[in-house]
């Protein structure tokens, strides 16, 4: 389950990726068109489970109002010596997003879908570290962006998306969209 980030934020993050590429680190950069907010990673799901979750997501989403979060700062998951994931952060009132994510995770469990036990940490993945080659150069290049705002993410819907992995990167197919309540 995911939310789209909008073109303005996508364009800013694409520009940041281009600047960070100059560090020469071995990073698998997420194609700008594929940058999104993952609300819940589902893994392998049966079609019947997806249909059941989509129906549940419609009801859950309808109980929430659209919300705006600021995309701000860069960081990474992992240790300084071996970061794994490069991300852009989200700030603002995260409570509605956290509550929405929790309800969707519970609905997924009710349909028999295994979900990750790790706590939800809202972020936008922009790259994945493939090796330690020049990773310290990358961390240094990220420093000026650690508190920089990249725009506003408007969450107006929740999308059930199917991903297919390929050598050139994943491709995504929209299966269902649940709209949040109108203002």
Strands 67-79 and 149-155: antiparallel
CA distances from 58 to 8, 28, 74, 76, 78 (A): 27, 34, 32, 33, 35
Q: Residue ranges per domain, the chain? A: 2-179
Tens digits of per-residue pLDDT, 23-47? 999 999 999 999 999 999 887 888 8
Q: What is the pLDDT of residue 70?
A: 97
Tens digits of per-residue pLDDT, 100-123? 999 999 999 999 998 878 889 999
| Nearest alpha-carbon partner for 135 in 182, 175, 72, 82 | 82
Q: What is the pLDDT of residue 114?
A: 84
**Residue 27 to residue 129: CA distance in whole angstroms:** 5
Token pair, residue 2, equals 């995911």
**Residue 47 to residue 81: CA distance in whole angstroms:** 41
Q: What is the pLDDT of residue 6?
A: 92
Q: Per CATH, the architecture of 2-179 is what?
A: Alpha-Beta Complex (3.90)
pTM for this entry: 0.93
| Cα Rg of the chain (Å, integer) | 17
CA 73 to chain CA centroid, nearest Å? 14
Tens digits of per-residue pLDDT, 145-183? 999 999 999 999 999 998 887 777 778 888 999 999 976
**Residue 133 to residue 26: CA distance in whole angstroms:** 6
């Amino acid at each position: 389950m995911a939310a789209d980030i909008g073109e303005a934020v996508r364009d800013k993050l694409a520009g940041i990726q281009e600047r960070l590429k100059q560090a020469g680190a071995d990073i698998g950069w997420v194609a700008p068109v594929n940058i999104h907010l993952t609300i819940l990673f589902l893994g392998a799901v049966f079609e019947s489970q997806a249909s059941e979750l989509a129906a549940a997501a419609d009801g859950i989403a309808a109980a929430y109002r659209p919300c705006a979060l600021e995309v701000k700062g860069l960081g990474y998951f992992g240790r300084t010596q071996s970061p794994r994931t490069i991300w852009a952060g989200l700030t603002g009132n995260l409570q509605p997003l956290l509550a929405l994510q929790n309800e969707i995770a519970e609905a997924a469990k009710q349909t028999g879908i295994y979900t990750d036990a790790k706590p939800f940490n809202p972020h936008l993945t922009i790259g994945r570290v493939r090796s330690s080659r020049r990773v310290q150069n990358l961390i240094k290049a990220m420093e000026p962006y650690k508190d920089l705002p990249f725009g506003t993410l408007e969450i107006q819907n929740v999308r059930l998306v199917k991903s297919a992995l390929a050598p050139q990167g994943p491709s995504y197919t929209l299966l269902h969209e649940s709209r949040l309540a109108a203002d």
